Amino acid sequence: MISSSMKPFVEGGSAIRALFEEGKKMAKVYGAENVYDFSVGNPGLKPPQEVYDAIDYINHELEPLLVYGYPSNAGYESTRQAVADDLNERFGDNFDMEGIVMTAGAGYAINIIMKCLLDPGDKVAVFAPYFVEYRSWARNFHADVVVVPPNVEGGFEPSAEGLRKVLDPSVKAVIICNPNNPTGAIYSRESLEAVAEVLREAEKEFNHPIYIISDEPYRELVYVDKEVVFLPDVYDDTIVAYSWSKSLSLPGVRIGYAAVPRKAEGYEELRDALVVAGRVLGANNASTIAELIVERAIKARADISYYERNAKELYEIVSGAGFECIIPQGAFYLWFKSPVENEYELVQAAKDERILIVPGSSFASPGWVRASFCISNETIRNSAEAFARLGKKYFG
């Protein structure tokens, strides 16, 4: 018999994963070219050449024990040093190699960060719409999320005022995902500074640190001329969770890191705890091969023009069909408003047209839907007629 704490996850499942599986089934029935699967953020873009070159080098030039043996729990020193150097070069001099812990993607980074920060009954504040797994992850540690309602009028920027209302002494962390999944928004410096100010006041009032967990798998995926604020710049008590899943198209390889800046409160204790957290949670270390790949490919970037074109064309197709869309500034998602209050109706009507989109309720934002545009450009262009028919149903 499975545990009672696991039951809700099994019964509830993940709407996104369910759609992904349904897409695969539909592709078998109708042919892959006749199904427009905008459900999962699985990059359709090939990893850059530097990744293939790194794999060749690792295969042919390195000692087998280095490639296949256990590294230290935090990861290879050379990889962590490469990450610290890269961060310092780009964002100011805040990182030591010791503050970097290599992980199996951002998901695992957030889990070890939560393991270090949360006691049972604690809370993590999140801004709706938010990535669905944050709640599951907080619950791994008998904690929960407290949700700041969506700031629709403010273009889905994180609302400092909304945050102030949900803070209490049980809130030990706040997660910010920028560029954002699911809205595609890049947050303004002004909003983030206001959030930081609210948190600094709350830290004083409650007499304990409140850390920002900066979830950054989309940091490099930007399509407009707007800065992606590096959160440790505006708030000292920030722990970065990074991933190469999207930026180098390596989601199956599972590689990312947690990074604590020297200036964060409790730096030394935190950095040591993060290493132990990976071990006690059973991962032990990130994949050695993956570490060696990203170390050699640290300056490599995805071909942004691929996503930029998809973003533009999908926006034109969906807004052209009559839907109210948020222009994607970064990440690879188009967020648009459902013309009917219950967006599940729209999701079903879209499915009838073989379009798979994710209900906003999955991100605590009913009335909206998300379409992931990391798929092939051909699929996007081919979906135009199906979207036009869907639009006709609602807008005539």
Total binding residues toward ligand PLP, as defined by CB under 6 A: 13
Q: What whole-number distance in Å separates Cα of residue 113 and Cα of residue 98? A: 15
Q: How far is the CB of 390 from ligand PLP (least distance, A)?
A: 25
Question: Is 107 near ligand PLP (CB under 6 A)?
Answer: yes
Q: Report the residue number, 293 or 390, with the smaller CB distance to ligand PLP.
A: 293
Q: Print the binding letters for residues 152-181 with ligand PLP: x by CB under 6 A, - otherwise.
A: -------------------------x---x
Tokens of 176: 């910010």
Enumerate residues 179-238 that contact ligand PLP by CB under 6 A: 181, 215, 217
Q: Does 131 bind ligand PLP (CB under 6 A)?
A: yes
Footprint on residues 76-105 left by ligand PLP (CB under 6 A): 105
Q: How far apart are CA 114 and CA 100, in angstroms?
A: 16
- Pick from 26, 39, 41, 292 the residue near ligand PLP by CB under 6 A: 41
Q: Whose Cβ is closer to ligand PLP: residue 258's or residue 318's? A: 258
Count of other CB atoms within 10 angstroms of residue 338: 23
C-beta of residue 145 within 8 angstroms of C-beta of residue 126:
yes
Find all residues with CB under 8 Å of 76, minimum gap 6, and list them: 102, 288, 291, 292, 295
Q: Which of 243, 310, 329, 338 binds ligand PLP (CB under 6 A)?
A: 243
Is 339 among the residues that bind ligand PLP (CB under 6 A)? no
Q: How many other β-carbons are positioned within 10 Å of the β-carbon of residue 119?
A: 10
Nearer to ligand PLP, 41 or 330 (CB): 41
369: β partners = 336, 359
Shortest distance (Å) from residue 396 CB to ligand PLP: 35
DSSP codes, 99-140: GEEEESHHHHHHHHHHHHH--TT-EEEEESS--THHHHHHHH
Give the residue with the Cβ less far from ligand PLP, 217 or 261: 217
Q: Nearer Cβ to ligand PLP, position 136 or 382?
A: 136
Distance in Å, CB of 205 to ligand PLP, minimum: 29
* Beta carbons within 10 angstroms of residue 337's beta carbon: 16
Q: Which is nearer to ligand PLP, 130 or 306 (CB)?
A: 130
Q: Would you give the DSSP letter of residue 239?
A: E
58 vs 126, which CB is nearer to ligand PLP?
126
Nearest-approach distance from CB 296 to ligand PLP, in angstroms: 19
Distance between CA 244 and CA 256 in Å, rounded?
Answer: 6
> How far separated are the first and last CA of the chain, in Å rounded?
52
Q: Is 328 in the site for ligand PLP (CB under 6 A)?
A: no
Query: In this structure, what DSSP letter does residue 143 have?
Result: -
Question: Binding to ligand PLP by residue 251, rule CB under 6 A?
Answer: yes
Handedness of CA 229, 232, 238, 243 (dihedral sign): positive
What residues line the site for ligand PLP (CB under 6 A)?
41, 105-107, 131, 177, 181, 215, 217, 243, 245, 251, 256
